[in-house]
Structure formats: structure tokens, C-alpha cells
Amino acid sequence: MQDENQRYERERTFHNWVYSEKARASVGKFYSIADICERYYRECILARSGHDVLEIGCGRWGTMAPFLDRDRCFTAIDISDVAVQESAEVARANGLVGTYLRMNAEATTFPDNSFDLICGSSILHHLNLDKACAEIRRILRPDGCAVFIEPLGHNPLINVFRKLTPQIRTVDEHPLLMKDMRDMRTHFGQIDVHYFCLLSLAAVPFRNWRVFPAMKNTLERFDSSLFRMLPGSGRYAWMMVMTMSRPKGQGQ
């Protein structure tokens, strides 16, 4: 328990610093090719019906809040004090309705079966995956679903970059592996995965060139074909979007 508490405090302290200092510039260049993944993530969420929505790891702004219908009940949580405070302030300034809470995603205080939809962007790989999935399963309604963007940990070139930039990540984060995906099936009866950003990573050095949009779009089409024709190649992608549904009950 002491080790777990220390991990929580490391994550909280790091993300308070990140959000207060806006310290993401070092990795920002890679997010120039991630918009296709983010669009798909939003489309998956907006295509789902359901009144009660929870965003885990909302960051400095509950990122899904502006895209949701106003008649949905939106709740966002984060372990960072700074993230929760700024998210609530930005939401109020933009006339968005929602509840923002500092909370540990591995042990929330929500009742069982609280949400129709749970989502998050690059959050699960900061958590104890088994505890987090068990908690998501507990608070997700039987006909609900969970949608997450997450990085993968199989690409050797990306892993070299991660080792060279320890200052922009926490010591506890762990990009997901295929084994993690298999383990998650103990909590959910169905997991659908779409992969993004493999060949398109080659466009990153050209992000300030006029040719960048056309190059990125072409490489994205190649990525789509590659993942379709060679499913095993998906493990080497940078990012994926997971949709998890059919939460398993006790004893299943």
C-alpha cells in the first residue's frame, strides 16, 4: 500500500507540474500527426448514446466537454489538483456544464453502474491497468462502453525516443503491450482496437514544410492499408483507440 501511495503522489506531483508549467513542448511535434487518432476517438464517443459520461484524466480541460450534447451529464476526474481547477474554470468561462473532481481512477467514489460512457486520452498507461479496468467495469453500466486513446510500447524506435526523453514522462507510465490487451479481456467481453501512426511517423520531420499535409495524408492511407492487410503490424503503431464493452460481472 505504501508503494501504491508513493506512485499516486509521484503521478499527482508530476502532472501538477506539467499542467502548471505547460511543459509539453518537447513531445508536441509528434502530436502534429495524431489528429487522425483524436478524430476517430471523438467519433467513437459521439456515436454512443447514453446520458451519463465520465472522462478519466481530463487534464487542464475536460477534453470531451465541448463536443458533447448539453443534455448529457458530464463528469471529469483527474489526480492533478491543477488539472481539476483549471478544467472547471475553463468550463465555466465557456458556459459548459459539468462536474470536475480530483479523484484516483483506480479507486473512485462513484456507485456501481454509474455511467453509460467512460472515456480518456492517454491515461490508462499511467495506471495499474488491472485495478483501473476493474474500477471501470464496476462503474460502467452493463450496456455501456469505455473508449480510450493509448500509446503502444512495441515500436523500438519510439521506445528509444522515450528513453532519451525521461523528463517528459513519469517513471511509472507503461505504454500498453499486447499482453495488457489480453489481460483486459478478463474485465470486458468485447474489446475493439484501431491502430494509428506507424508509417505516418515519417512525416514528423516535415511538419513545418508546405508538403506536410499531403505527405501525412498519404502515409495515413498507407497505414490504414497496412493494418488491414497485416493485422500483426498494428502492435508497432504509436497510438490506438480501444472500445471496451460488455463489462463482466463477478464470477465471469
d(CA 126, CA 122): 8
Give the predicted TM-score (pTM) of the model. 0.89
The number of folded domains in the chain is 1
Own/partner long-range contacts of 74-78 (Cβ < 8 Å, ≥24 apart): 74/98, 74/99, 75/99, 75/100, 75/101, 75/115, 76/100, 76/101, 77/101, 77/102, 77/103, 77/105, 77/108, 78/15, 78/102, 78/103
Does residue 174 fall inside a structural domain?
yes
Which among 40, 210, 55, 184 is positioned nearest to 117, based on CA atoms? 55
Does residue 41 fall inside a structural domain?
yes
d(CA 119, CA 41): 9
Does residue 178 fall inside a structural domain?
yes
Question: In the prediction, which pLDDT does 4 show?
Answer: 73
Domain interval for residue 59: 2-247
Does residue 243 fall inside a structural domain?
yes
Report whether 209 contacts 29 (CB < 8 A). no
What are the pLDDT digits (tens) for 129-180? 999 999 999 999 999 999 999 999 999 999 998 888 877 777 788 999 999 9
Does residue 252 fall inside a structural domain?
no
Does residue 129 fall inside a structural domain?
yes
Does residue 42 fall inside a structural domain?
yes
- 138 sits in which H/E element: helix 129-139
DSSP bridge pairs for 198:
none
Residue 17 or residue 216, greater confidence:
216
Amino acid in position 108: T
Looking up residue 76, the CATH number of its domain turns out to be: 3.40.50.150
d(CA 12, CA 125): 15
> In the structure, what pLDDT confidence band is assigned to residue 25 with cuts at 50, 70 and 90?
very low
